[in-house]
Amino acid sequence: MNFTELNAAVVTITNRPDLVAETSLAVRRATARMHSIDFWPKDIQEVTLSLITPAFLGQIDTTILPFSRFRAMKYLREYNLVHSGRERYMTKVEPDCLVDEYGYEIQSLWYPAGTVINWKVGYAVQAIAGITGLSVGYYQNPDVSPTTFSSWIAQIEPWCIVEDAAARVLKLTGQLDLANSIAQEAVESLMLLRQNYLEGVGR
């Protein structure tokens, strides 16, 4: 369903076509909620960052392009235009755990610090004068703007959004029993969504 269809479906349940703004907001909130309720494989985006000069370490600002609606990191991989065979997935560590139990610095690592991702390549890559790029995998938030709305959940399993949004509108109108009933249906629809799309592959 697109944004207009989601709103229409909510109105069918609530029977409140007069609550246009409230319905629109409820759909937007429900969409954001369903995407953020778990880390869905379908929300993963990958971008390749080119470095001006080969480097051993650096920072990535996740608030600027090419990142769009950044939610959370998934992975970071060393990248070279000419593949050397030494590139690897970097290890995510905590900012206060950059060394191992023997006191040696962990190789090929990254860690978050606010909206910035700090990274450093391992000795094997340093030996070939650094890397020329990075492949970054991250979870992307949905676009909930009414004019540019985009959500794979709305296309594949829209009822969890519709039912969650309808329950919100019904609560506003004081129909608590019906709201609770519809909210329970949203929970059941979410269970189906998790069953079918959380792992990214069929069983």
- pLDDT tens-digit profile of 95-119? 888 787 777 777 788 999 999 999 9
Q: Give this prediction's pTM.
A: 0.87
In a domain, 203, yes or no: no
Is the CB of residue 79 less than 8 Å from the CB of residue 132? yes
Q: Are residues 106 and 183 in the same domain?
A: no
Q: How confident is the model at residue 88 (pLDDT cuts 50, 70, 90)?
A: confident
Instruction: Please state the domain count of the chain.
Output: 2
Domain boundary among 140, 164, 183: 140
* Residue 202 included in any domain: no
Domain coverage including residue 91: 41-140
What is the pLDDT averaged over residues 8-15?
Answer: 97
Q: Are residues 21 and 47 in the same domain?
A: no
Cα 74 to Cα 82: distance, rounded to the nearest angstrom: 24
What is d(CA 126, CA 111) in angstroms, rounded to the nearest whole number? 19
One domain for residues 30 and 96: no
> What is the residue-averaged pLDDT of the chain?
89
Whether 24 and 110 share a structural domain: no
Does any domain span residue 159? yes
Q: Are residues 121 and 168 in the same domain?
A: no
* 116-144 pLDDT per residue, tens: 999 988 665 555 566 788 899 999 999 99
Same domain, 96 and 162: no
**52 pLDDT more than 80:** no
